[in-house]
Structure 1
Amino acid sequence: MKLYEIAHSRAGDKGNISTLSLIPFQEDHYKLLCQKITVERVKKHLSEHLKGEIKRFELENISSLLFVCEDALAGGVTTSLALDAHGKCLSSALLEMEIEL
């Protein structure tokens, strides 16, 4: 199953850092996301785009995960010639990840 079937995501940016939220549609899927969506899996799945360190934060009070991805925007919004300089498409790319229930 693809992540987009059980969760949604939003991307943010600051300099050369991208933040990716992962929010389940149903709160009872939060623990599943915590188990299945590791830093290693995100790094492998988005390896074409994410070149630096990734940190994962578990936001239990709002049943969400947040990934802070360094060296993710080809130098940053104002210095990159990348088509998606803000990295907004990264949230859609994350939701294409396959998981098993």
Structure 2
Amino acid sequence: MKLRELAHSRAGDKGDISNISVIAFHEKDYALLERYLTPERVKQHFSQIVDGDVTRYALPQLGALNFVMQRALGGGVTRSLALDAHGKCLSSAMLNLDIPDDLCKAA
């Protein structure tokens, strides 16, 4: 199952830092997201672009996780040669992450 079936996402940026929030559609799915979406897994998912640390902030009262990815935008908006220098499409890329079916059935 794709993450997009359980949550929606928003992305922002500041310099060479990308910030991605993942928000569960339903409160019952938040625990699964919290268990599966670790900073290590997110860094691996974005291994082609994230050269720094990934920090996760949990916001259980909102059913959301916020990931701050250091050195993720090719030097930042004014330095990057990327078409999406702000990293707005990274929220869509995050939602393309696969959640194992057996994990979803156990939740």
Q: What TM-score results when the alignment is normalised by the length of structure 1?
A: 0.97
What is the alpha-carbon distance in structure 1 between the residues aligned to residue 85 and residue 60 of structure 2? 30
The letter for the 2-side match of 1:72 is A
Q: State the number of aligned residues.
A: 101
State the identity %. Answer: 56
Aligned position for 2:22: 22
Specify every segment of 5 or more residues in structure 1 that has no aligned partner in the other structure, as ranges.
Answer: none
Partner SS state of residue 40, structure 2: helix
Specify every segment of 5 or more residues in structure 2 that has no aligned partner in the other structure, as ranges.
Answer: none
Partner SS state of residue 97, structure 1: coil
The letter for the 2-side match of 1:67 is F
Q: Which has the larger radius of gyration?
A: 2
What is the alpha-carbon distance in structure 2 between the residues aligned to residue 24 and residue 61 of structure 1? 11
Aligned position for 1:61: 61
Detail structure 1 runs of 4+ shifted over 2 Å in the superposition: none
Structure 1 residue 6, shift from structure 2 partner:
0.7
What is the alpha-carbon distance in structure 1 between the residues aligned to residue 59 and residue 4 of structure 2? 19
CA-atom RMSD in angstroms: 0.7
